[in-house]
Chain A
Amino acid sequence: MLFNSLTFALLFLPVAFAGYHLCCRLGSAPARAWMVFMSLVFYFWWNPPYVLLLLGSIAANYAFGALIQRSEPKPRLQSAALALGVAFNLLLLCYYKYFFPLLHFLEGIGLHFVSHPGSVILPLGISFFTFTQIGYLVDCRGGVARGHKPLDYSLFVTFFPHLIAGPILHHKEMIPQFGDPATYRFNAANVRLGVSVFLLGLAKKTLIADNLAQAANKAFLRPENLSLLGSWHGALAYSLQLYFDFSGYSEMALGLALLFNLRLPPNFDSPYKSTSIIEFWQRWHITLTRYINLYIYNPIALRVTRTRMAEGKPLARAGLRTVSGFCSMVLYPTFVALFLAGVWHGAGLQFIIFGLLHAVYLTVNHLFRILRHKHGKVEPDTAWHVIAGKVLLTYLSVLVAQIFFRASSVENAIALLKGMIGLNPNPPMAGWREMFALDHGFAPVHMAGSIYEGSMWAVLILFCIVWGAPNILQIFSNEQPALVGPKTPWESALRWRPSLAWGVVLGLVGGIAFLAMGEPTVFLYFQF
């Protein structure tokens, strides 16, 4: 079920909300049980048999977690249980996400292992709930997670606002909320806040992201037909689509959780305003970055550091200034972590390139920082043109990687990139009059040689919003809709408050967004 579907808005959500607050009157356990039940209904609605897969995964992981906790006095047994649990999760993920694409890939290069490799429907959210649970098992081993009840654990994994596309939750931020009696008291302030955040997220999805989809899809369908201008238009349209789609989803998830008195971690904080790639990953898919750091990057970096310490090699800043130190303490863990992040996003060479490109960017960014420190430049830049240049450079780097992220193949991505540097045969500015015409808005623009969709003006206006407007965390910073506030505070009288003006504005925005829900489209992150 999609958050932006009429079934969800008119049927599922009212039932889930009313049922939850009725159950709260009976106690916290019935309320939690109701939410688990409704979350399973939410999943069941999409593909009933896969509810068994989800339940099986939860049961197995809970059992592994319990075994790991109980075997604390026996470290070998504990490690074996952890390895078994992680292997179980990875096998499940590999089977559904990578096994059949791999067979098809091998068949494509002439290696036939089976006569007709079939396919399997990818269970929605499998990457998310698998990662969430692997993290839980690792924390059981580290003694961080212990003594959780099955109902709490089930709710932690299945809670429907995050089940399909994140944020990737950490048990330490959710399970304590399940134990708080305030969670089960009707809180009108949270409902007001939740409805407001949800409606703004819905508007981003239905009014902006979905309208950009046509332009992006057209561009990636046959990029070799595009002119230089058309290639840029298509790439920028996709970049904006991804931005508004993911931020819309993240905000709808925050808003929905608030209706049930729960706060989720923020997942999106104006990433295109970042002045470096390091900052970008602190603002884009924040919980994935945190997960990768916690469970992949840090353990590798820690092991490297211990090894270097044992060998008597320099550590910290002094170590990073040596080639071997930089390679082992930054380059190696970064490449491993980002390679896995790329693979996590999908089975395809283009996702690996996406991950490795970001690994290169991050490595260069870290190197640059080290060199700055070495030359005594520790103060951040304040000149506007330097900051603007950094934002632009960061964005362009991200854009190149996003083209691989969206493309159907590496060749597809390269064809668009070639168009963006003017290597396609079409005249570079073909169609500029139509693209800059003022009379068609988002309506299709047909041009010689190919068909583009959408106006360049729409793209430019949206970039003004992306770079100039405050984000949801900032607009609602008085009320803090997420567990953590925005990276950059926003001081303005225009910040949200439950006023008449805000009520009317949100009603109008929400009303228009509701009217656009007739043809719900999936969120881009659902495919992961």
Chain B
Amino acid sequence: MATTQAPAPRRSFLTIVAATMAGLVAVTWLWVIDNPRSCISPDSGTWIAKMQMAGGHLPAGRVIILGDSCTAADLAPPLLGNKVIDLGLSASSPIESYFMARRLLKTNTPAAVMVYFRPIHFENGSDVFLFESSAKFGLINTADLETIRRLSRNLNDPTLFGSPTPFDSDARLKDYLLPHRFPAYYFGGIVEGRIGGWKQKSLQEQAYTILTRGFCPTERDYKALILDPGPIMETFRPSPVVDDYFRQTLTLFQERHIPVYFASMPNTPASFKALTPEAIAGYTAYLQQMAATYPVFKIVGDVFTSMPNEYFSDATHLSSAGAVVCSQRTRALLSAAGVDLGTADARWKPPVRNASGYWVR
């Protein structure tokens, strides 16, 4: 039998289409505003926790760690010392660290800072992560994005924003609408989070990040990737805009006479072996140049280090067992440099996750 459809006046057809579309977009927008955690990555929990810690009033004498996901996953603050707080952010570059440092210094004056970035984070500060994490999680706002864009353009650096078009309309629209929770920028998260599924996980991440003072072990084991060295850097060429933000970060600490220590996080043997002499020399020279320019900046230990495969959970990050070893090693290095990290909790055990990825208390 042929299906029949309720006829509509032809003139109203476009009105029906437009009203349905507008209604769907409006409902989604309101939902995103009301439930931002539900449609941004579960990582939002750790970012929010770290932003809270940075923006709060910390006790005097704290030692702060800034860096990328390696510092977050490889270092367990309870094992480093009770004065240590790890503000390292997953998939972040020195740009995000600058904004974290700025937030920190508004209300705090730490005794010392440790930094580490994989060299790749100086080369390709990722526009995806810049927006997907920093802007969505609230670390940077529209004005900050505009500042970064202006700097990128002034330095003629297309790393973050691509080759500028005369209007940069899509990017500007995004800069404006993303912090206003425009749903088109959150759609991927809505789908991947299965409409709200990420909220609980994000809240739990936040609680555990605060409990562990910033320790974020990698979520899953991708042991099969450990033998893969990943993309090989032939040389080290920092992106001008990322370099500028690293310098701005060091300037912030220099002005406040806060010492900054660079301590390396380990590579897998495969990644370590794949490092070219040019890349090693380039990154080392870059850091040495920073140390010469900013007297507060010091390099402790080797710039590139390695640990055996059994300590890794993927090609880049240590497992919890690896983090224990790395934390002890880093504590020794920093202590030898004269940094007071406080007392380490030798009995501390890393939390574990269940099969669904939730922390088990």
Q: Does B20 contact A (CB under 8 A)?
A: yes
Shortest B43–chain A CB gap in Å is 15
Contacts of B21 in A (CB 8 A): 507-508, 510-511, 514
Cα of A192 to Cα of B224 in the assembled complex, Å: 53
B165 touches A500 (CB 8 A): no
Q: Does B6 contact A (CB under 8 A)?
A: yes
Q: Does A7 contact B (CB under 8 A)?
A: yes
Shortest A171–chain B CB gap in Å is 31
Shortest A215–chain B CB gap in Å is 15
Binding site for A on B (CB under 8 A): 2-8, 10-14, 16-25, 28, 165-167, 169-170, 173-174, 177, 182-188, 190-192, 220, 222, 224-225
From B6, B22, B23, B220, contact of A500 by CB (8 A): B6
Which of B4, B19, B184, B188 gathers most chain A CB within 10 Å? B184
A518 touches B3 (CB 8 A): no
B20 touches A511 (CB 8 A): yes
Contacts of A236 in B (CB 8 A): none
Contacts of A498 in B (CB 8 A): 8, 10, 13
B184 touches A518 (CB 8 A): yes
B16 touches A507 (CB 8 A): yes
Cα of A497 to Cα of B23 in the assembled complex, Å: 22
Shortest B20–chain A CB gap in Å is 2
Cα of A516 to Cα of B182 in the assembled complex, Å: 11
Cα of A510 to Cα of B23 in the assembled complex, Å: 11
Q: By DSSP majority rule, is chain B's interface helix, strand, loop, or mixed?
A: helix
Q: Among the listed stretches A343-351, A360-368, A441-449, which one makes contact with chain B, having 4 or more residues with CB under 8 Å of it?
A: A441-449
Contacts of B177 in A (CB 8 A): 6
Cα of A494 to Cα of B169 in the assembled complex, Å: 39
Cα of A196 to Cα of B25 in the assembled complex, Å: 18
Over the window 489-506 of chain A, the binary record of Cβ atoms lying under 8 Å from chain B Cβ atoms (1 yes, 0 no) is 000011001111111101
Please, which residue of chain B has its CB at the minimum distance from the CB of A507?
B20
Cα of A443 to Cα of B41 in the assembled complex, Å: 13
Contacts of B24 in A (CB 8 A): 507-508, 511-512, 515
Q: Does A48 contact B (CB under 8 A)?
A: yes
Contacts A501-B6, A511-B24, A514-B184 known; A11 to B169 CB distance under 8 Å?
A: yes
Contacts of B3 in A (CB 8 A): 493-494
Please, which residue of chain B has its CB at the minimum distance from the CB of A520?
B170
Please, which residue of chain B has its CB at the minimum distance from the CB of A450?
B224
Shortest A24–chain B CB gap in Å is 18
Cα of A222 to Cα of B18 in the assembled complex, Å: 44
A192 touches B10 (CB 8 A): yes
Contacts of B185 in A (CB 8 A): 518-519
Contacts of A447 in B (CB 8 A): 224
Over the window 161-200 of chain A, the binary record of Cβ atoms lying under 8 Å from chain B Cβ atoms (1 yes, 0 no) is 0000000000000000000000000001101100110010
B17 touches A188 (CB 8 A): no
Please, which residue of chain B has its CB at the minimum distance from the CB of A497?
B5
From A446, A506, A515, contact of B17 by CB (8 A): A506
